């Protein structure tokens, strides 16, 4: 009911030999008040981000205009289905899942200042949109089965338990760092091979799409301060290929296997 959508994505990729590497940004702004995350084939994931960005570009003469997130979801999925059907067998074997997050520029939820958010999951091979229900959490990727992470997010983000947090994130985004800290701590407390403790948080509100990382400082009881900094990440297929070449591994065989977690803070069916 607080008029925003948030997505959390780690940076880990997996290779056929079982090795992993923390090197990939998986969530991006793709339009005005719209963002997308991906898992599965990295090459197809970057195609999805680039295709959405290109088709959601607004002409300069209409710089203040924006797309309806629900319209985007139910128009774009057919493009994803066609592209996946024409992709290489190697990419199809890795699959593709896309998480779309958006906030309406004009429609509210019946409460002034709280715009209507839309969150949907599109999964290969059909990509038929799965619209996320009100105040719920969705996940994509192989990490989706880690119930501990999902329960931690649900616990903090319940409308009753986190009312002040939700209101402040919805209005000005000041406490969005709480979600990043929660994700980092959850992975540190309950590590799995497929999920990195380094994450990007994407906050979509009317007026902005903000992406931050989990860089932070830990202060110990003895006064020691430890800086935690995210390693370099690829933000395009070309950059990812270059990173893989530098490490002597195949980029085409890698998979963005973690889940993107996305929450829609709404009070009616999206």
91: domain CATH number? 3.60.20.10
Burial 120-154 (b: 16+ CB within 10 A, else e): bbbbbeebebebbebbebbbbbbbbebeebbebbe
Which pLDDT score, from 0 to 100, does residue 181 have?
75
Q: Is the per-residue pLDDT at 265 higher than 50?
A: no
Q: Is the per-residue pLDDT at 183 higher than 70?
A: yes
Give the torsion sign (CA, 116, 122, 126, 130).
negative
| Helix, strand, or coil (residue 213) | strand
Which pLDDT score, from 0 to 100, does residue 257 have?
66
Does residue 69 belong to any structural domain of this protein? yes
Does residue 220 belong to any structural domain of this protein? yes
Confidence of residue 161 (pLDDT cuts 50, 70, 90): low
Rounded to whole angstroms, how far apart are CA atoms 9 and 7?
A: 7
Rounded to whole angstroms, how far apart are CA atoms 195 and 204?
A: 23
Enumerate the β-bridge partners of residue 100. Answer: 36, 120
Confidence of residue 260 (pLDDT cuts 50, 70, 90): very low
Those residues with Cβ within 8 angstroms of residue 133's Cβ, 6 or more apart along the chain or in another chain: 264, 269, 270
Enumerate the β-bridge partners of residue 138. Answer: 262
Rounded to whole angstroms, how far apart are CA atoms 254 and 256?
A: 7
Residue range(s) defining the domain that contains residue 208: 4-265
Confidence of residue 218 (pLDDT cuts 50, 70, 90): confident
Q: How large a percentage of the chain has pLDDT more than 90?
A: 47
Does residue 270 belong to any structural domain of this protein? no
Residue 136 contacts residue 263 (beta carbons within 8 Å): yes
More confident residue, 88 or 165: 88
Give the torsion sign (CA, 54, 60, 64, 65).
negative
Rounded to whole angstroms, how far apart are CA atoms 48 and 43?
A: 9
Q: What is the domain count for the chain? A: 1
Strands (E), the chain: 4-10, 12-14, 20-22, 27-31, 34-41, 96-108, 115-123, 130-131, 137-139, 199-205, 208-213, 216-219, 225-228, 255-256, 260-265
């Amino acid at each position: 009911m607080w008029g925003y959508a948030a997505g959390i994505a780690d940076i880990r990729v997996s290779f056929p030999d079982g090795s992993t590497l923390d090197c990939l940004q998986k969530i991006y702004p793709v339009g005005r008040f719209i963002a997308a995350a991906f898992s599965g084939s990295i090459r197809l994931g970057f195609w999805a981000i680039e295709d959405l960005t290109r088709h959601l570009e607004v002409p300069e003469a209409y710089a203040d205009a924006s797309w309806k997130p629900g319209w985007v979801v139910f128009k774009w999925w057919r493009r994803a289905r066609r592209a996946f059907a024409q992709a290489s067998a190697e990419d199809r074997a890795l699959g593709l899942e896309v998480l779309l997050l958006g906030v309406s520029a004009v429609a509210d939820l019946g409460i002034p200042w709280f715009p209507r958010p839309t969150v949907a999951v599109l999964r290969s091979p059909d990509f038929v949109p799965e619209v996320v229900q009100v105040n719920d959490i969705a996940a994509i990727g192989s990490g989706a089965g880690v119930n501990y992470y999902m329960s931690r997010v649900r616990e903090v983000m319940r409308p009753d338990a986190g009312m002040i947090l939700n209101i402040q994130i919805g209005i000005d985004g000041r406490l969005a760092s709480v979600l990043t800290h929660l994700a980092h701590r959850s992975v540190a407390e309950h590590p799995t091979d497929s999920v990195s403790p380094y994450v990007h948080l994407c906050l979509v509100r009317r007026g902005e799409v903000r992406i931050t990382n989990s860089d932070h400082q830990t202060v110990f009881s003895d006064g020691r301060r430890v800086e935690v900094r995210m390693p370099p990440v690829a933000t395009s297929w070309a950059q990812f290929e270059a990173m893989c070449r530098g490490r002597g591994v195949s980029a085409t065989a890698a998979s963005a296997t973690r889940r993107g977690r996305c929450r829609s803070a709404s009070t009616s069916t999206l």
